[in-house]
Structure 1
């Protein structure tokens, strides 16, 4: 196309190629692609880096690049990670990395609406979909609301399902704040990504029907598996937000 740069032409050609291939199909080697597109390998590599950052391709050292699977629509309404993932035909699971019970202290007392001397259950969980690490979740809940909760419970059951079935607590409303962040050393190790990988930080506070705080959760989601789509209209028209993420990976991939 007139005025189209070489990089833009390569990007368009690669997107056309990806569109014609099934999910997780391997792409040709860089040398072969560069020859086919009559472009320098440096230009090709730059475009491939962009597509990888966008989640359109997955690159594995020693294995090459693969066509990524489509990202999944994530509902804006309150729902548990387990319910959402399993509703998409995937297997949700969790691994409890840390579990402790201790006095809340001033900060968490404010977050949970309790006394600083009240005890809080603190749990760090690795959230997985079809066995692939998606997020590191830090849960904080007043012990008095969930007596007897164990680390094993959080691995074997949906927390929201347990709240309702075991303690008669139903999540009624909540607030979620989203910020950009980078993974620290511990998060990078759990998620299987390089240190300081771009990620999303979600801080969620939920309440029951009486507006009493149930939990405060801080979660770090992999940036290459999660994105936002916003549908909007003219002034006065309703605006909806859909959060989406990509959960799959090529067979044999270690993420």
Structure 2
């Protein structure tokens, strides 16, 4: 193991005992404590920044980010997912519009060319920290009285059930790596071109009616995907 890797692992051990938002000692002091050059220390910290373990604030120092939120590959709403972790879910509506949509979204929602859809952009929060940007598209005929305020700090799935008696029965979701653009960076409070995860999901009701198409950008420094695997011949893999 190189000295750089050893320093990285020592910092990871240290971060295990630190709270999210807690500051590491100044670079000069930390280099002396670990017995390495500041160049070696800086390289190790750069890797921790890239993997989302710490955040560097220019002029302030380096701060622990805490463990990433992991999402299992199973159907779950953002609200239910955050509550299961003991976090307070939130949603801030950034834009709301109703009108015709492009061919790609029409095909997902099985809409005719001039059918309207509600198009909502929301900032999803966990304990008031920005986690994801969500673009939600819903057939207008499904929830004709949907308004921007309805989705402020509210689960869309809960609203569907309470207002329409609709339960989301199945979803198809894709996940791919991406980087955030300038507007996404500003909304998520991260640097431009930070790594992120792009989720696209189409969901259907029990009677096979499309109820949503969602495009979400999750912060790569705060989110990861978890899968549970089993050996062939034992339990079915997740």
Question: TM-score with structure 1 length normalisation?
Answer: 0.86
In structure 2, list runs of 5 or more residues that go unmatched: none
Name the residue aligned to 1:250.
none
CA contact (8 A) 2:72 2:225 kept: no
Residue 194 of structure 1 pairs with residue 191 of structure 2: yes
Residue 211 of structure 1 is matched in structure 2 by 208
Aligned partner of 2:171 in structure 1 is: 174
2:114 corresponds to which of 97, 114, 117: 117
Provide closer, same or farther for how the CA distance between residues 69 and 156 of structure 1 changes in structure 2, counting only shifts above 3 A.
Answer: closer
CA contact (8 A) 2:73 2:227 kept: no
Pairwise CA distance, 1:212: 1.4
Alignment partners' CA distance in 1, 2:23 and 2:191: 23
Shift of 1:81: 1.1
CA contact (8 A) 1:201 1:219 kept: yes
2:162 to 165, 175, 190: 165
Shift of 1:133: 0.7
Indicate if the aligned counterparts of 1:105 and 1:117 stay in contact, CA closer than 8 A. Answer: no
Deviation at 1:143, TM superposition (A): 0.1
Which among 57, 68, 73 is matched to residue 71 of structure 1?
68
Structure 2 counterpart SS, 1:9: helix
- Match for residue 8 of structure 1? 5
- Determine the C-alpha separation between the residues in 1 that align with 2:144 and 2:67: 41
The answer to whether the Cα contact below 8 Å between 2:179 and 2:196 also exists between their aligned partners in 1 is yes
Unaligned runs of 5+ in 1: 241-255
Asked if residue 53 in structure 1 is aligned to residue 23 in structure 2, the reply is: no
- The answer to whether the 8 A contact 1:108-1:116 is kept is no
Structure 2 equivalent of residue 251 of structure 1: none
Of 70, 84, 88 in structure 2, the residue corresponding to residue 87 of structure 1 is 84
For 1:52-110, what per-residue CA distance to the aligned partner results, in whole angstroms no more than 9, with x for missing partners?
22222233333322333223443432222112212322221111111111123422221
